[in-house]
């Protein structure tokens, strides 16, 4: 059975990326009811979770991002919306901008990419909050970019649960 949500079966899936010189990623599949039923908690209904980090030059990073997205064709794709908060023109500092642009250009021909500010994820899922969730903290030990992507994915899932308009945009066939 395909674990990707396409409106007919499987579970809604979100892939979140934290782009940069090392690009973190986190993938969550959840039971559909967890996004539509107020009594059904998202974190109690995770059916699949995986995370990791991609390494390499920017071309390889984008290829790896695209491959993960291709492996999960029904997944919602989320990336950190990189907005510089300082004046820095170094190539390394601006890598997330280039990675997001290349990824969105390639994948955007067929699928939408959602963006989320880093500050939203870091304020919504603080280190203390993630630590209290146990597994998501421990399994990202030593992988700060995978941890950041996990914070993004959890924040996006919370937004989907609480913002019905966003849920309908991301997963239009979910629910009534």
Q: What is the pLDDT along the chain (176 residues), one digit of tens a residue?
A: 233 334 445 799 999 999 999 999 999 999 999 999 999 999 999 999 999 999 999 999 999 999 999 999 999 999 999 776 666 566 666 788 889 999 999 998 889 999 999 999 999 999 999 999 999 999 999 999 999 999 999 999 999 999 999 999 999 988 55
Nearest to residue 43, comparing CAs of 136, 174, 122?
136
CATH 3.40.47.10 fits 13-170, yes or no: no
Cα 18 to Cα 57, 77, 173: the distances in Å are 15, 11, 27
| Residue 67 phi, psi (nearest 5) | -65, -45
Structure tokens at 69: 């997205």
- CA–CA dist 132, 116 (Å, integer): 23
Please give the sequence-ordered ranges of beta strands (E in DSSP) within the chain, or none if there are none. 13-18, 23-30, 46-54, 76-81, 113-117
Phi, psi of 42 (to 5 degrees): -60, -50
**Domain boundaries, given as residue ranges, for the chain:** 13-170
Whole-prediction pTM: 0.89
Angle among Cα 21, 87, 125 to the nearest 5 degrees reads 55
């Amino acid at each position: 059975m395909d674990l990707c949500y396409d409106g007919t079966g499987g579970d809604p899936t979100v892939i979140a990326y934290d782009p940069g010189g090392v690009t973190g990623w986190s993938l969550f599949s959840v039971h559909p009811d967890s996004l539509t039923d107020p009594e059904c908690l998202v974190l109690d209904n995770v059916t699949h979770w995986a995370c990791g980090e991609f390494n390499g030059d920017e071309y390889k990073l984008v290829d790896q991002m695209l491959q993960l997205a291709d492996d999960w064709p029904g997944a919602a794709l989320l990336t950190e919306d990189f907005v510089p908060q300082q004046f820095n023109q170094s190539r390394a500092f601006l890598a997330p901008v280039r990675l997001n642009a290349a990824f969105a250009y390639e994948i955007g021909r067929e699928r939408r990419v959602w963006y989320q500010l880093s500050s939203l994820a870091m304020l919504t899922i603080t280190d203390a909050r993630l630590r209290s969730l146990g597994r998501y903290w421990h399994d990202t030990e030593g992988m700060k970019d995978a941890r950041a992507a996990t914070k993004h994915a959890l924040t996006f899932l919370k937004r989907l649960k609480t913002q019905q308009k966003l849920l309908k945009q991301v997963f239009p066939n979910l629910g009534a």
